[in-house]
Amino acid sequence: MSNEKNFFVGYHDRLPKTDRRTMIITGAAALVGAAVFGAKLAVHQQARGSGQWDQGKIVDLTGMVEQSPYPVLRTASLDGQMRSVSLVCSNKCGVAAQLAEFEGQPVWVRGTVISRGRHRMLAVVSNAEWVGPAQGVTHPPKVQEEYLGRAALNGEILDAKCWTGAMRPSSGKTHKACASLCIRMGGTPWFLAKDKAGRRVVFVLTGPDGEPLRDEVLPLVGEPVRASGRMIRRDDLVQLRVDPRRIQSV
Amino acid sequence: MSIALATALASALGFYLLLGMAYGLYFITFGAQSMVPAARGSGLGFRLMTLPGAVLLWPVLLARLIKGYPKPEAPRALRQAHVRIWMFLVPLVALGIMLSLMLRPAPPLNESLPKGLILEERGS
Amino acid sequence: MSHGYTAVQWNGFKWRYDLVVLAGLAVFITSFVLLTMGSRDPGQSLTLIQVLMRAFGAAAFLLLNVILAIGPLARLSPRIKPLLYNRRHMGVICFILALVHAGLSLLWYQGFADLNPIVALFASNTRYTSIAGFPFESLGFIALMLLAFLAVSSHDYWQAALGSTLWKRIHLGVYVAYGLLVMHIMLGVVQGEKDLIYPASVIGAFCLIAGLHGASAIIGRLRDRKVRASLDGWINIGAPQSIKENRARIIRTPSGDRIAVFRYDGKVSAVSNVCAHQNGPLGEGRVIDGCITCPWHGWQYRPEDGRSPPPFDEKISTYRVQIDGGMVYVHPDALPPGTPSPPAKISEAKS
């Protein structure tokens, strides 16, 4: 009877004709739709910057350790140019404790370079000695400090290492928990501000007297905030010294 | 959520799974067929495939083991339950969607940036 | 079914079905990954692990929408019914995709720290009282747990072991998981990505799924005539000839039960409309080889006693039926599942 022939029963090996046609059309539409929709979702994502982390290449740098507010190696051994290279862990942790005894001394440091634009960081190797006193290092000139005035800016608190190249995306909601975790565990908070023309500046975020910030800023990491304070240039990094209690959600 | 509370939650979850695995051992040896006689003589593939179920559903299964197995019941279509769930879900999710769009932060742009700073490259 | 269980009862249709589903997902994920990486200058894109996170998350949510659309669509058009047949495999695949998404996110965002990643997931973002800042990861985690319960119990064995009603109730959890996932995306990636395609896709999908469920509930209600019992309790269904041969008419009794009244072989029988397997609508099935056959997965029952033919032993409720004065009458009180109830013979003179 034609009725029975047109009735789908899954364990019968041949599908009724109408069902077979429906299934073939549905299957083909699903494949084409999946390709198109996947492409649509992909191309509308925002560009995420050019941060890079070359984890395959281990380098040794020599320079002077500066601990406060966040660990930095003042060195020219990367490319001959005097730079403040931030020192961070390979994982989500800080290096301040291990560097304490080397404050203001010449050291060698071993790690992999994270770079974005003019910024360089060194993620120290975790499976071997990575720091020790160095001989014959010429003392770099004294830190050039300059007061640049006050600023009140909208922007986002982010983790310096993620932004410089450990992660892309390294800002915004999906990365918020990760950035909070990094900073909680000893990462360096930076502050990214943009203007309407798409220009952007980053600051090292510190307390009012240039002291490190950590737990005070955690809830607002990765969210649009307004921060105000004094801008201090120290060599090639600019600090934004803020009262963390006055950072506001916007 | 505080770390202490989150730790308690994660521990509870781990404990639940640990007990589930203990029950799973019983299940894979005797439990499967004692609950459903038809499962006697089923192959290893079947047992492995149903094992994760035993690990997660152990409280229900244990209760059945202790309290006895309920009589087979006439199947009921749960159309009313479907309606109730959707009645509850639609307004709640609609409200959530609206709030998430209304409170979605605008990009925190500034009219201008302080002069004299080195600009960074594009890309968020 | 009841003669020993196997891991999966494969057949040709299931193979082809799974193949198309997996191919579709592979195409989606490949297309997303290649275009994310390829549509920008090198170094302006996302890191590969973060691309994969998004690709698998999006694929899981897309598949979940397809799964949820099939049920109501099959009610609206019988053409869709074959898609129901292997929906279970899609559910398990969806869970696996979600698990990969969660694993990558947990490793990359919450891992590599001196803290249990699960603890970090709940504790690293503390803004539970904010909407825009809300830790959306926790919603995804709860949804994943719910999907885990559904995936692990996606075997006929568990329906037998848990009982059909409890099993079905657990599986209603899919709607809760769906709601949580909509919010997981709205409070997550949609807060960060500026393009409208992301909120529009999620909201469109939710409206579609909710709309389809609403439409199928309303149409189901209109289609199944609610009938009144006459004084002596019997329900008049109409002339036997008004039911198509080997098909059924579904009626809704005053107490809300649905009865499927089948006409076959010059006889009329009435059984519960609910299949013992996954509660499929038997009244939308047909009588094949003398057995009522469920339109969803082909489970069969004899019309005269509601029992599956040997070696199976599933049972459904039967109802008393009689023909009087050229009209079919059904008694709305269900007989215990598997009780023989003599079919009413349609007299020759009338047909």
Q: What integer pLDDT is reported at residue A178 of this predicted model?
A: 95
Closest approach of C35 to chain A, Cα-based (Å): 6
Report helix, strand or coil for C157: helix
Q: What integer pLDDT is reported at residue C226 of this predicted model?
A: 65
For an interface test with B, give the residue of A162, A191, A192, A200 to mutate (most B CBs within 10 A): A200
Query: Taking Cα atoms as reference points, which of C245, C253, C262 lies closest to residue C331?
Result: C253
Could you tell me if residue A25 is inside a domain?
no
Q: What integer pLDDT is reported at residue B77 of this predicted model?
A: 65
Output the domain CATH number for residue A88.
2.40.50.140
- B with C: how many residue pairs have Cβ under 8 Å apart? 178
Residue ranges with strand state E in chain C: 225-226, 235-238, 248-252, 258-264, 267-272, 286-288, 291-293, 300-301, 318-319, 321-324, 327-330, 344-345
What H or E segment, with its residue span, contains residue C205?
helix C197-223
Give the span between the Cα atoms of C328 and C342, in whole angstroms.
13
Confidence of residue B47 (pLDDT cuts 50, 70, 90): confident
Can you give the length of chain C in residues?
Answer: 351
Residue ranges with strand state E in A160-219: 189-195, 200-206
- Examine the fold and report which residue of A106, A133, A160 is the final residue of a domain before the chain moves on: A133
Instruction: Please tell me whether residues A226 and A193 are part of one structural domain.
Output: yes
For range A102-128, the mean pLDDT: 92
Tokens of residue C39, six digits: 């549509």
Instruction: Please tell me whether residues A129 and A155 are part of one structural domain.
Output: no
Give the span between the Cα atoms of A20 and A29, in whole angstroms.
14
Contact A41 C198 (CB under 8 A): yes
Contact B110 A195 (CB under 8 A): yes
Residues of C in contact with A219 (CB under 8 A): 126-127, 133
Tokens of residue C156, six digits: 């006929």
Amino acid type, A2: S
Could you tell me if residue A228 is inside a domain?
yes
Could you tell me if residue A35 is inside a domain?
no
Could you tell me if residue A166 is inside a domain?
yes
Question: Chain A, 92-111: which have a CB under 8 Å from a chain C CB?
Answer: 92-93
Q: Name the residue range of residue A88's domain.
A: 52-133
Tokens of residue B65, six digits: 């083991």
Instruction: Please tell me whether residues A162 and A199 are part of one structural domain.
Output: yes
Can you give the length of chain A in residues?
Answer: 250
Residue A105: how many CB atoms within 10 A of its CB? 12
Contact A50 B119 (CB under 8 A): no
Q: What is the per-residue pLDDT across A211-237, written as a single tens digit (0 to 9) for each?
A: 999 999 999 999 999 999 999 999 999
- pLDDT tens for chain C, residues 1 to 351: 445 687 788 888 888 899 999 999 999 999 999 999 988 876 678 889 999 999 999 999 999 999 999 999 988 887 888 888 888 999 999 999 999 999 999 999 999 988 999 999 999 999 999 988 999 999 999 999 999 999 999 988 888 888 878 888 899 999 999 999 999 999 999 998 989 999 999 999 999 999 999 999 898 778 766 666 676 788 888 888 889 999 999 888 887 788 999 999 899 999 999 888 878 889 889 999 899 999 888 889 999 999 998 888 888 999 999 998 888 999 988 899 889 999 998 875 444
Does residue C83 contact residue A26 with C-beta atoms inside 8 Å? yes
Could you tell me if residue A153 is inside a domain?
yes
Tally of structural domains, chain A: 2
Output the domain CATH number for residue A196.
2.40.50
Instruction: Please tell me whether residues A151 and A230 are part of one structural domain.
Output: yes
Instruction: Please tell me whether residues A57 and A88 are part of one structural domain.
Output: yes
Output Rg (C-alpha) for chain C, integer angstroms: 25
Q: What is the per-residue pLDDT across A47-100, written as a single tens digit (0 to 9) for each?
A: 888 888 999 999 999 999 998 899 999 999 888 888 999 999 999 998 988 898
For an interface test with B, give the residue of C45, C144, C152, C252 to mutate (most B CBs within 10 A): C152
Contact A49 B107 (CB under 8 A): no
Q: What is the per-residue pLDDT across A166-182, written as a single tens digit (0 to 9) for each?
A: 998 888 899 999 999 99
Can you give the length of chain B in residues?
Answer: 124
Does residue A121 contact residue A86 with C-beta atoms inside 8 Å? yes
Give the span between the Cα atoms of A165 and A172, in whole angstroms.
15
Q: What is the per-residue pLDDT across A9-58, written as a single tens digit (0 to 9) for each?
A: 777 767 777 788 888 999 999 999 999 999 999 999 988 888 889 999 99
List, in order of start, the domains of chain C with CATH numbers.
Answer: 12-222 (1.20.120), 235-350 (2.102.10.10)
Residue C333 contacts A, CB cutoff 8 Å: no
What H or E segment, with its residue span, contains residue A33?
helix A17-43
Does residue C319 contact residue C259 with C-beta atoms inside 8 Å? yes
Question: Chain C, 27-86: which have a CB under 8 Å from a chain A CB?
Answer: 27-36, 39-41, 43-47, 50, 54-55, 58, 62, 66, 79-83, 85-86
Q: Which one has a higher pLDDT value, C103 or B42?
A: C103
Q: What integer pLDDT is reported at residue C2 of this predicted model?
A: 46
What H or E segment, with its residue span, contains residue C65?
helix C48-76
Query: Taking Cα atoms as reference points, which of C223, C221, C251 lies closest to residue C330?
Result: C251
Contact A231 B106 (CB under 8 A): no
Could you tell me if residue A8 is inside a domain?
no
Could you tell me if residue A36 is inside a domain?
no
- Beta-carbon contacts of C253 under 8 Å, excluding residues fewer than 6 positions away, are C226, C227, C229, C235, C259, C332
- A with C: how many residue pairs have Cβ under 8 Å apart? 196
For range B64-75, the mean pLDDT: 70
Tokens of residue C305, six digits: 């006693």
Residue owning tokens 């001959």 = A80
Which of the 8 DSSP states describes residue C292? Answer: E
Give the span between the Cα atoms of C149 and B18, in whole angstroms.
16
Contacts 24+ apart (CB under 8 A), C214-223: C214/B86, C215/C72, C215/C76, C216/C71, C216/C72, C216/C73, C216/C75, C216/C76, C217/B79, C217/B82, C217/B83, C217/B86, C219/C75, C219/C76, C220/B79, C220/C75, C223/C250
Instruction: Please tell me whether residues A127 and A149 are part of one structural domain.
Output: no
Chains that touch C (3 or more CB pairs under 8 A): A, B
- Examine the fold and report which residue of A133, A159, A178 is the final residue of a domain before the chain moves on: A133
- Examine the fold and report which residue of A102, A133, A164 is the final residue of a domain before the chain moves on: A133
Question: Chain C, 244-263: which have a CB under 8 Å from a chain B CB?
Answer: 256, 258
* C45 vs A48, A173, A185: nearest CB: A48
Residue B6 contacts C, CB cutoff 8 Å: yes
Q: What integer pLDDT is reported at residue A246 of this predicted model?
A: 94
Confidence of residue B120 (pLDDT cuts 50, 70, 90): confident
Instruction: Please tell me whether residues A149 and A59 are part of one structural domain.
Output: no
Amino acid type, A61: L
Between the alpha carbon of residue C106 and those of residues A100, B2, C118, the distances in Å are: 32, 18, 8
Instruction: Please tell me whether residues A129 and A182 are part of one structural domain.
Output: no
Q: What integer pLDDT is reported at residue A1 of this predicted model?
A: 36
Crossing angle of the two packed helices C48-76 and C12-38, in degrees rounded to 10: 140
Instruction: Please tell me whether residues A154 and A78 are part of one structural domain.
Output: no
Give the span between the Cα atoms of C111 and C53, in whole angstroms.
14
Q: How many CA atoms lie within 13 A of C259 on its CB side?
A: 29
Instruction: Please tell me whether residues A240 and A194 are part of one structural domain.
Output: yes
Does residue A82 contact residue A156 with C-beta atoms inside 8 Å? no
Residues of C in contact with B50 (CB under 8 A): 5, 155, 157-158
Confidence of residue B34 (pLDDT cuts 50, 70, 90): confident
Instruction: Please tell me whether residues A57 and A113 are part of one structural domain.
Output: yes
How far is C-alpha B75 from the chain's CA centre?
A: 25
Give the span between the Cα atoms of A167 and A171, in whole angstroms.
9
Give the span between the Cα atoms of C124 and C140, in whole angstroms.
15
Query: Taking Cα atoms as reference points, which of A117, A87, A85 lies closest to residue A201?
Result: A117
Between the alpha carbon of residue C91 and those of residues C60, C65, C94, C282, the distances in Å are: 10, 11, 5, 23
Give the span between the Cα atoms of A12 and C298, in whole angstroms.
9
Residues of C in contact with B86 (CB under 8 A): 175, 210, 213-214, 217
Q: What integer pLDDT is reported at residue C351 of this predicted model?
A: 41
ipTM, two decimals = 0.92
Instruction: Please tell me whether residues A183 and A105 are part of one structural domain.
Output: no
Residue B107 contacts C, CB cutoff 8 Å: yes
For an interface test with C, give the residue of A2, A3, A4, A9 to mutate (most C CBs within 10 A): A9
Give the span between the Cα atoms of A232 and A147, in whole angstroms.
5
Does residue B54 contact residue B61 with C-beta atoms inside 8 Å? yes
Could you tell me if residue A38 is inside a domain?
no
